Every structure is written in structure tokens, then in C-alpha cells.
């Protein structure tokens, strides 16, 4: 019940990507992976953080979003706009490519420009990476995001992390499965190293595309990634209630189950829509969301039509679902918000964000015995607070009405099912956990609190 992603044994796809496979995407656009708060004392905060990462887990979040950030990269035809949060656009074309959309069955010629980030060197060997991007894509434009990974022995590969446009008229946004070699693989939205290998540095490359002859351009104002090395773990050390105790944020509840059967071409509502439903709660918490004009396509008999909107515009046609993490964040960013995929180190870090006024969407897997209500091989909750006992208050979209979304989960249960990476299902088969994955969505000008553990920065601590 309420599984946005489906189990596939111990494969990372069980939680990181789901079980659907993507069709091949046209040559030249998508390729395979082969190419040569200040709350309490600082010391106390760090001690709490390390309690959640005592197994040696490492995390590093990076992003490029300001003019100065983008100027550090390499532009081939891309123009860095001279202003805050304006990002990069096509300045001039450096070539053309034919793109055949495998889902629409259309073929068109596109001209393109590229921007490549500076190399991000890691002081640990990363075994996973999930990218994110915030962009606008006028009609006739789209973007491709690639990871250029350098491995522990110097081997280099290029991996497609997504082919994306907000709309679905010109292309259907898609992840690209079928990318794998002896070093790593792509599971829909996440790069993962094969056993015995790790990544020591990376770059992100943007390809900005527009139909040949057009003067429109995509504009990307933020791109980033979370690189991590989290060992297999079935549990984490228990933490004590912290700075968010007694705080509840006023986040409007939405239930996914009332959408069951709606728009099968976007997953059909119900248990398939936990990611867009949770995300829409946070988008609207910040006073954003679709206009009446944007919602005109939704059947007027449907309640909470903004959830249908979120599902449609975060749907991954390759994965055949709405659980693609960066696609969901890119949808949220279409309303002018900063939206990022992060990997938090501990429950204490989540408390620091809640105490600073930021609701957070978390990804977890659990059995019915653990949850108390239902089992899921991968489900999204919107964390909105902590009660007086330090237990976790969530808006759980796995409900049959908006009135039943508010739920309190025991602290120990929550941090276990969210932060672990492996567990045993009720039938005895192995399952996978996200290891602390979350969506962090916020207004651009609202500063985040300082990172709790500077050695493992799990969110940006500057606002530009």
C-alpha cells in the first residue's frame, strides 16, 4: 500500500528508482555510461549529528546557482546571465542534433549549447550520487543533465541523469535506464557504484536544447548533487529530542488515495502519487502553486486538483511513475522555489530544519509491523514537526481523506526506517531503505540554518 516505488530485491532500484524500465532514447541525447541552525551549542549539534553517522557514512551536497558559481564552469555556447539567480541560457548554438522522443514518437532537430561545472573533488569515495536542477523550459526547449564521474583508479564515464522539460508537448521528460558497466549503473534517478568501486570527483554537464531556428532558450538557475557513501545498515543509534520539540508547521494536508483511478497516463493516483502529493503540500506551504488557468485541464469533479497537476508535471515517462526525485524537485522549482534532493545525516538534522521553519519530505521503507498501519517498499512523508515527546509529526498522504493525513510516528521507528539502507520484509525477503534521502524545498531568499556537521554538509548554507 502507498508504495511510490516498487521492490526489486536488494537492487538499489527498490527504493532509489522503482521497477519500471525506460525505453531507449535517441542517440546523441541519451547515452550509456561509457565515455572516456543555530539551535543549542555547536558542539552539542555536532555530537548529535555524529550519533547518526557513527558508521562512517559520508555526505556532500554541492550546487551551482549564483552568477559567480556559473562563471566558474565552462560554457560552450551557454551564456551566464549577469544577475542573481538568472542562471544560464543558450547564447549561441554550437551544433545541432536530432532527437526522437520514444514516447511521443516525434523527431525534431535541435540546436544546443552546454555548460559544465568545475570538477568537484571528494575527500571520500562516493558510492551514490543524485543530481537536481531548477529550470524553466519554454515551448520547444528542453535540457539534458549528465554526470561526468572520475573513479578511484582514474577511469572516467559520462552518465545521463535526466532528459527534462516541464511541459509534455514537445518531449516527454524521461530518465534513462540501461546505463551500466563494470564501475557503476544508473537506477532511474541515482548513480550507484558497483561493489569495489567508488567515485572520487565529478562534474555536472548541462545541455540546453531548442528547436532549430527558435529564439527561445531553457534557463537553468540551479544545478547540484548530493554525493554519498553510506554503508549497509539496518539501524542507527537512537537520538534524544532536540530543537524542534513541540513545533508543528502549518502545512495543508493532502491525501493521495482520494485520487485513485485518476489519469492513468500519469500513474493513476492512489498509492502511486505519494511523491507529488507530499511535494504539493510543501509548495503550497510557501504560498505557491498552480493557477486556475494551469488547472483548467483537470476534471472539475476532482478535489485537490493541484495534486493532479503535481503528478502530471513530475511524471517520468521512462520510469513510468511519479517517484523520480529530481523530476519532482524540478516541478516544485517551476513556481520559483529552490528545490533540492538532499541526504541528511541524522534525525537531529531534520529537527534543525523543522525548528528553522522548513517542512521536509522524507523517503522511507517499512513493514506493517513497524508502521502500525501498512507496509511500503518506498513511501514519501511530509515532516511538519515534533510533538512534546520528540515523536515525529508527518502529513502522511497514504490516507483516504485530507482530514486523516496528520499522523504522529514514534521517534525511534521513524529514524530507523528513514535512515537505514537495508531491512527484512515481512515475508523474509530483503528490502532497501533510502538512508536519509529527502526533498528540501524553500523560497530562494529564505536562508537555511548552518549545516550541522561541516565535514558532512547535507544542505547549502549560503543564500545567493
Q: How confident is the model at residue 164 (pLDDT cuts 50, 70, 90)?
A: very high
Q: What is the distance between the terminal CA atoms of the chain, rounded to a whole angstrom?
A: 41
Q: How confident is the model at residue 198 (pLDDT cuts 50, 70, 90)?
A: very high
Question: 396-407, pLDDT tens digit by residue?
Answer: 999 999 999 999
What pLDDT was estimated at residue 55? Answer: 85
Mean pLDDT of all residues belonging to the chain: 90
- Report the SS3 class of residue 60: strand
Residue pair 20/315 in contact by the 8 Å Cβ criterion: no
Residue pair 175/109 in contact by the 8 Å Cβ criterion: no
Q: How confident is the model at residue 59 (pLDDT cuts 50, 70, 90)?
A: very high
Q: Mean pLDDT across the stretch 3-30?
A: 32
What pLDDT was estimated at residue 464? Answer: 58
* Whether pLDDT at 184 is above 60: yes
Q: Mean pLDDT across the stretch 177-202?
A: 97
Question: 374-400, pLDDT tens digit by residue?
Answer: 999 999 999 999 999 999 999 999 999
All cell numbers assigned to 132: 537536481
For the chain, what are the domain ranges? 23-229, 247-443
Question: 414-425, pLDDT tens digit by residue?
Answer: 999 999 999 999
Same fold flag, 23-229 and 247-443: no
CATH, range 247-443:
3.90.70.10
Question: 236-270, pLDDT tens digit by residue?
Answer: 999 999 999 999 999 999 999 999 999 999 999 99
Q: How confident is the model at residue 54 (pLDDT cuts 50, 70, 90)?
A: low
Question: 10 Å Cβ neighbour count for 42?
Answer: 11
Question: 5-18, pLDDT tens digit by residue?
Answer: 323 223 323 332 22
Give the percent of the chain with pLDDT over 70.
88
Size of the chain in residues: 464
* Whether pLDDT at 36 is above 80: no
DSSP conformational letter for 198? -
CATH, range 23-229:
2.60.120
What pLDDT was estimated at residue 41? Answer: 34
Q: How confident is the model at residue 46 (pLDDT cuts 50, 70, 90)?
A: very low
Better-predicted residue by pLDDT, 41 or 348: 348
What pLDDT was estimated at residue 38? Answer: 32
Spatial distance between the Cα atoms of 149 and 204, rounded to a whole number of angstroms = 9
Q: How confident is the model at residue 85 (pLDDT cuts 50, 70, 90)?
A: confident
Q: How confident is the model at residue 456 (pLDDT cuts 50, 70, 90)?
A: very high
What pLDDT was estimated at residue 84? Answer: 83
Q: How confident is the model at residue 76 (pLDDT cuts 50, 70, 90)?
A: very high
Spatial distance between the Cα atoms of 138 and 413, rounded to a whole number of angstroms = 44
Q: Mean pLDDT across the stretch 283-308?
A: 98
What pLDDT was estimated at residue 463? Answer: 58
What pLDDT was estimated at residue 83? Answer: 84
Spatial distance between the Cα atoms of 287 and 281, rounded to a whole number of angstroms = 10
Long-range contacts of 366-372, Cβ-Cβ distance < 8 Å, separation of 24 or more: 366/413, 366/417, 366/423, 367/423, 367/425, 367/426, 368/426, 369/426, 370/413, 370/416, 370/417, 371/409, 371/413, 371/417
What pLDDT was estimated at residue 53? Answer: 55
Quote the distance between the C-alpha of residue 50 and its chain's center: 24
Spatial distance between the Cα atoms of 443 and 125, rounded to a whole number of angstroms = 32
Residue pair 353/360 in contact by the 8 Å Cβ criterion: yes
Quote the distance between the C-alpha of residue 12 and its chain's center: 15
Query: Is the backbone of residue 370 left (phi > 0), alpha (psi -120 to 50) or beta?
Result: alpha
Amino acid at each position: 500500500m502507498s508504495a511510490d516505488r516498487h521492490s526489486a530485491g536488494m537492487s538499489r532500484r527498490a527504493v532509489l528508482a522503482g521497477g519500471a524500465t525506460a525505453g531507449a532514447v535517441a542517440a546523441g541525447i541519451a547515452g550509456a555510461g561509457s565515455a572516456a541552525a543555530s539551535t543549542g551549542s555547536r558542539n552539542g549539534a555536532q555530537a548529535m549529528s555524529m550519533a547518526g553517522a557513527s558508521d562512517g557514512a559520508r555526505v556532500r551536497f554541492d550546487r551551482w546557482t549564483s552568477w559567480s558559481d556559473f562563471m566558474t564552469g565552462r560554457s560552450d555556447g551557454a551564456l551566464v546571465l549577469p544577475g542573481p539567480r538568472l542562471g544560464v541560457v543558450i547564447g549561441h548554438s554550437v551544433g545541432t542534433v536530432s532527437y526522437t522522443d520514444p514516447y511521443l514518437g516525434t523527431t525534431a532537430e535541435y540546436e544546443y549549447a552546454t555548460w559544465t561545472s568545475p570538477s568537484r573533488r571528494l575527500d571520500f569515495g562516493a558510492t551514490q550520487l543524485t543530481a537536481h536542477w531548477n529550470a524553466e523550459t519554454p515551448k520547444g526547449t528542453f535540457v539534458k543533465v549528465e554526470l561526468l564521474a572520475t573513479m578511484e583508479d582514474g577511469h572516467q564515464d559520462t552518465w545521463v541523469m535526466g532528459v527534462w522539460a516541464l511541459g509534455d508537448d514537445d518531449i516527454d521528460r524521461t530518465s534513462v535506464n540501461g546505463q551500466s558497466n563494470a564501475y557503476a549503473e544508473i537506477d532511474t534517478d541515482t548513480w550507484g557504484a558497483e561493489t569495489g568501486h567508488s567515485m572520487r570527483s565529478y562534474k555536472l554537464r548541462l545541455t540546453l536544447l531548442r528547436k532549430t531556428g527558435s529564439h527561445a532558450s531553457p534557463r537553468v538557475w540551479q544545478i547540484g548533487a548530493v554525493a554519498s557513501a553510506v554503508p549497509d545498515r539496518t539501524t542507527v543509534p537512537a537520538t534524544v529530542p532536540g530543537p524542534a520539540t513541540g513545533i508543528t508547521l502549518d502545512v495543508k494536508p493532502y491525501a493521495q488515495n482520494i485520487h485513485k483511478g485518476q489519469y492513468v497516463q500519469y500513474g493513476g493516483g492512489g498509492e502511486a502519487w505519494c511523491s507529488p502529493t507530499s511535494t504539493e503540500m510543501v509548495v503550497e506551504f510557501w504560498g505557491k502553486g498552480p493557477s486556475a488557468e494551469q488547472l483548467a485541464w483537470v476534471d472539475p469533479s476532482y478535489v485537490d486538483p493541484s495534486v493532479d497537476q503535481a503528478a502530471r508535471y513530475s511524471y517520468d515517462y521512462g520510469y513510468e511513475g511519479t517517484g523520480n526525485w529530481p523530476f519532482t524537485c524540478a516541478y516544485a522549482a517551476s513556481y520559483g522555489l529552490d528545490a533540492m534532493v538532499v541526504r541528511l545525516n541524522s534525525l537531529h538534522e531534520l529537527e534543525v530544519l523543522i525548528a528553522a521553519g522548513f517542512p521536509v519530505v522524507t523517503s522511507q521503507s517499512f513493514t506493517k509491523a513497524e508502521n502500525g498501519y501498512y507496509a511500503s517498499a518506498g513511501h514519501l512523508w511530509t515532516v511538519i514537526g515534533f510533538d512534546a515527546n520528540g515523536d515525529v509529526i508527518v502529513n502522511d498522504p497514504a490516507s483516504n481523506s485530507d482530514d486523516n493525513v496528520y499522523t504522529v510516528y514514534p521517534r525511534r521507528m521513524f529514524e530507523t526506517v528513514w535512515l537505514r539502507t537495508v531491512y527484512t520484509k515481512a515475508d523474509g525477503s530483503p528490502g532497501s531503505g533510502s538512508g536519509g534521502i529527502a526533498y528540501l524545498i524553500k523560497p530562494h531568499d529564505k536562508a537555511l540554518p548552518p549545516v550541522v556537521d561541516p565535514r558532512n554538509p547535507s544542505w547549502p548554507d549560503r543564500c545567493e
